[in-house]
Amino acid sequence: MDKLVSDVKVLVVDDQPLIVEELCEFLESNGYRCVPCHASLKAIERFNEDASIGLVLCDLHMPVMDGVELVKELKRIAGKRRPFEAIMLTGRADKQDVIKALREGFADYYQKPVDLNELLEGLQRQEAVLLERQSNYQHLGHLNEKLQFLAESIDDLYQDLDRARHPAQKGTRSVAEEEGAEPPIPAVFDALSPRQVDVARLVGKGQTNYQIACELGITENTVKLYVSQVLRLTHMHNRTQLALALSPANAGLRQRMTAH
């Protein structure tokens, strides 16, 4: 049966080379790329080197480090950011060993001699589970980014609120104060907080959101939020109108635009 080559590699570990060779040959003929290993320590090394390994197929009883110890070490290396699924192979199906293996993170197990078609179906199921887990991790990553942005925005707004309540505090200077004398702004801007005024002045100078973010030490999304607030509070329609209202060269026009 033809199958597209999977993006997920399979780490095949067994201390018997013939078994590793047979498993890899079968899996590769069914669309999987395999990483063969004959010892646990070598398997750890290969897992470290290749981030595309997402499925682990290993023998339970191996010298130096058995399959359970191997998977525990791989979990430690992977941490929370690199999910993988492990399947155990065993020639001695001791019930306690199987229970221990499943508790330590193996998703499934097969007794030797292995039915290759059953193993393939099991591997495909674990690949589907892995892909779903990876998708969930990506979704959580995007959610964390949004939460971080929200936290930064709330923090900036609280700082502005605090400065608005305590305008005479020493050590707090706006961009306008730091840059020297600035032309007075129309009364329509009186409702703005100090940070909103800073953003409005920089918009009036023709700076982009990115430039404003760099100058004020805030995120570009936070700048967008401030610009939206400024436009709403001053009853202006766009950045161009805001820039014209703050431009010293358009004082007459400014009076007409902000008189309404």
Q: What are the tens digits of pLDDT across the range 180-196?
A: 555 666 777 777 888 88
pLDDT of residue 19: 95
Model confidence pLDDT, tens digit, residues 238-258: 888 888 877 655 544 444 444
One domain for residues 58 and 133: yes
Q: What is the CATH number of the domain that holds 41?
A: 3.40.50.2300
Q: Residue with structure tokens 């570990």?
A: 13
One domain for residues 125 and 16: yes
One domain for residues 194 and 253: yes
Domain end position, chosen among 141, 159, 185: 141
One domain for residues 136 and 199: no
Contact 58, 68 (CB under 8 A): no
One domain for residues 59 and 127: yes
One domain for residues 13 and 137: yes
Within-domain flag for 88: yes
Contact 60, 97 (CB under 8 A): yes
Contact 66, 60 (CB under 8 A): yes
The alpha-carbon radius of gyration of the chain (Å, integer) is: 31
Any bridge partners for residue 11, and if so which? 35, 56
One domain for residues 28 and 100: yes
Distance between CA atoms of residues 128 and 84, nearest Å: 11
Single pTM value for the model: 0.53
188 is in which domain, residue-wise? Answer: 173-258
Domain end position, chosen among 141, 160, 195: 141
One domain for residues 130 and 48: yes
A 10 A CB-CB count for 174 gives: 16
One domain for residues 180 and 130: no
Q: Which two tokens stand for residue 115?
A: 């039915």
pLDDT tens across the length of the chain (260 residues): 455 788 899 999 999 999 999 999 999 999 999 999 999 999 999 999 999 999 999 999 999 899 999 999 999 999 878 889 999 998 876 778 888 888 888 988 898 889 999 999 999 999 999 988 877 766 555 556 666 666 666 766 666 666 666 554 444 444 544 555 556 667 777 778 888 888 888 888 888 888 888 888 788 888 888 888 888 888 888 888 888 877 655 544 444 444 44
Q: What is the CATH number of the domain that holds 183?
A: 1.10.10.10
